[in-house]
Chains A and B, each alone.
Chain A
Amino acid sequence: MKTLCISGAVALSASMALACSDQSGLVLTANDEAAPVAFVTDITPPASVPFDVTLTLCGTASAEVTFDAIMPAHQHGMNYAVDVRQVTEGTFHMENIVFHMPGLWELQFDVKIDEARYSYRGEMMVP
């Protein structure tokens, strides 16, 4: 029984480490070298249909995260606010993001870890 619990814990931390070492997602660009490595689910969002994204902040237990996005070519943002929910240590879930036009969207994350504030940018192309 005890061994089972331990192996469970090992498996969990191994998968988290893996998530950060393999970074199969879309790696975000930070404004600061001290910012933890961050990436989001790498998907091709459908035009004007809600989709979900998970953000991983490597080596970060908890943080305050806000999310927004704009279409730089058209100078407009999203028509909906997006709530960010922490799901496990270092992972955050965003539901019902709507990119209401095809083209290039810039994702913007503001992250507060203890007293430090970082901002991240990423890009997604809506076909």
Chain B
Amino acid sequence: MRLLLLLKQAVLLAGASTATQADILLSDAEIAQTLQHGPWPQVAQTDPSNRFSGNPNAIALGQTLFHETSLSLSGDLSCATCHQPEQDFTDGRARGLGKALLKRNTQSLWNMDQFRWFGWSGDTDSLWAQSITPLFHSDEMAHSPQSLHGLMLGHATREQIETLTGPLDTVSPEENAANLGKIIAAYVETQRSGQTSFDRFRDALAVDDLATAANYPKDAQRGLQLFLGEGRCSFCHSGPNFSNSEFHDAGVPYFLAEGGVDEGRHAGILALQSSPFTLNSAYSDDPEKTGAWAVRNVRFNHANFGMFRVPSLRRVMHTAPYMHDGSLPDIAAVLDHYNTIDMERLHSDGEAILRPLNMSQDQLDDLAAFLATLSDDG
């Protein structure tokens, strides 16, 4: 009797473990690829080029400044007008709206410490330099370094700023702008997205815990297989942040409705090379100039024309509309774009990666189910 019971249990156990095995659709090679997309979250590191990075007073002041409409020349525009915290730091519009309609979609500001370049075309190589850009953009906050300096000398936050930076009236207008960018960046870099159901699946696979991994839905697993394999998505959307932080042509037209083109990375490199605020400049607080190799060694290629930075896919379900010009309203439209991609539109010198996927609706649904598991961190 006892023996029978034991035997029964053994059979049950064996049955359970095969069921678990069968619940994991991924091959060993696909599991190895999956592990490359983690762990998440990554260990938070302070930015050596920003002496206020990680400083609690700077983070609190940065958050205040982020919401300050008084930082714009017209007095009615703050960072948060476009990067609305309750909307995943976006505005839900196709293209940002400041004093005029901007050329591009407002990016969300998650996990900024994961990127090497900022903006859709990588005009800047640090978060603090990128945070200065809208202050001087004529269609955004529209200041000059001089008018911004004058404003801050009489600003309500002057005392708080000076406890971090020292006296404001002795710094140059450029130094003042760099300081403001760094204080705001200290706040923005704290916006980090959390663990998702994909991350729990990935971590379970890393320790061979198939029972936990089996909680990950089958449709998301099939979608992940397509993402890594047939869809070739992970060539560009690689690593824990699902972006290689580099520039590619994903076949999105670069013509502007009002005429002209958005030159993308081509213009980005030109802006970068003429910027006084790079990691290679005296405004970097890092004596080692960590990361400055990128601006020193970046190559200027004809192929850069019309290329845009690969977006992260973390929290992507919450940041519609999509692409640099916000031309695709939802994820279904993005997947349809990749499924039927127009090869004539790929203008770069033949990056032989994208081609029409010709997937079935079921496959597209699986891909969407997978993408949703990169966005369910609450």
Same assembly = yes
Query: Which residues in A have some Cβ–Cβ distance to B below 8 Å?
Result: 47-50, 73-76, 78-83, 95-96, 100-103, 127
* Residues in chain A near residue B236, CB distance under 8 A: 101
Number of chain B interface residues as a range = 20 to 34
Given known A-B contacts A73-B352, A127-B32, A48 and B244 have beta carbons under 8 A apart: yes
Query: Judging by beta carbons under 8 Å apart, are A79 and B293 in contact?
Result: no
Query: Does B215 count as interface, using CB distance less than 8 angstroms?
Result: no
Query: Judging by beta carbons under 8 Å apart, are A47 and B247 in contact?
Result: no
Task: Apart from A81-B299, A101-B236, A103-B235, list 19 A-B contacts with CB within 8 A.
Answer: A47-B238, A48-B238, A48-B239, A49-B239, A50-B293, A73-B352, A74-B353, A80-B294, A80-B297, A80-B298, A96-B294, A96-B297, A100-B244, A100-B246, A101-B238, A101-B244, A102-B235, A102-B238, A127-B36
* Residues in chain A near residue B235, CB distance under 8 A: 74, 101-103
* Residues in chain A near residue B352, CB distance under 8 A: 73-75
Considering the complex, give the chain A residue whose CB is closest to the CB of B245: A48
Query: Judging by beta carbons under 8 Å apart, are A82 and B297 in contact?
Result: yes
* Residues in chain A near residue B297, CB distance under 8 A: 80-83, 96
Query: Judging by beta carbons under 8 Å apart, are B244 and A75 in contact?
Result: no
Query: Does B342 count as interface, using CB distance less than 8 angstroms?
Result: no
Q: How far is the CB of A48 from chain B (nearest CB, A)?
A: 4
Q: How far is the CA of A103 from the CA of B352 in the complex (A)?
A: 13
Considering the complex, give the chain B residue whose CB is closest to the CB of A95: B293
Query: Does B350 count as interface, using CB distance less than 8 angstroms?
Result: yes
Contact of B351 among A74, A81, A83 (CB under 8 A): A74
Q: Is the interface of A mostly helix, strand, loop or mixed?
A: loop
Given known A-B contacts A50-B293, A127-B33, A127-B36, A78 and B299 have beta carbons under 8 A apart: yes
Q: How far is the CA of A49 from the CA of B42 in the complex (A)?
A: 14
Q: How far is the CA of A114 from the CA of B238 in the complex (A)?
A: 43
* Residues in chain A near residue B349, CB distance under 8 A: 75-76
Q: How far is the CB of B368 from chain A (nearest CB, A)?
A: 23
Q: How far is the CA of A100 from the CA of B351 in the complex (A)?
A: 13
* Residues in chain B near residue A73, CB distance under 8 A: 352
Contact of A96 among B244, B293, B301, B353 (CB under 8 A): B293
Q: How far is the CA of A80 from the CA of B238 in the complex (A)?
A: 19
Query: Judging by beta carbons under 8 Å apart, are B351 and A76 in contact?
Result: yes
* Residues in chain A near residue B319, CB distance under 8 A: none
Q: How far is the CA of A13 from the CA of B32 in the complex (A)?
A: 41
B294-309 interface mask toward A, CB cutoff 8 Å, 1 = contact, 0 = none? 1001110101000000
Query: Does B130 count as interface, using CB distance less than 8 angstroms?
Result: no
Query: Judging by beta carbons under 8 Å apart, are A75 and B350 in contact?
Result: yes
Query: Does B234 count as interface, using CB distance less than 8 angstroms?
Result: yes
Considering the complex, give the chain A residue whose CB is closest to the CB of B293: A96
* Residues in chain B near residue A48, CB distance under 8 A: 238-239, 244-246
- Among A47, A75, A76, A96, the most chain B Cβ lie within 10 Å of the Cβ of A76
Q: How far is the CA of A49 from the CA of B244 in the complex (A)?
A: 8
B270-307 interface mask toward A, CB cutoff 8 Å, 1 = contact, 0 = none? 00000000000000000000000110011101010000
* Residues in chain B near residue A82, CB distance under 8 A: 297
Query: Judging by beta carbons under 8 Å apart, are A47 and B244 in contact?
Result: yes
Can you show 27 pairs from A to B with CB atoms below 8 A apart?
A47-B36, A48-B238, A48-B239, A48-B244, A74-B235, A75-B349, A75-B350, A75-B352, A76-B303, A76-B349, A76-B351, A79-B298, A79-B301, A80-B294, A80-B299, A81-B297, A82-B297, A96-B293, A100-B244, A100-B246, A101-B238, A102-B33, A102-B36, A102-B234, A102-B235, A103-B235, A127-B32
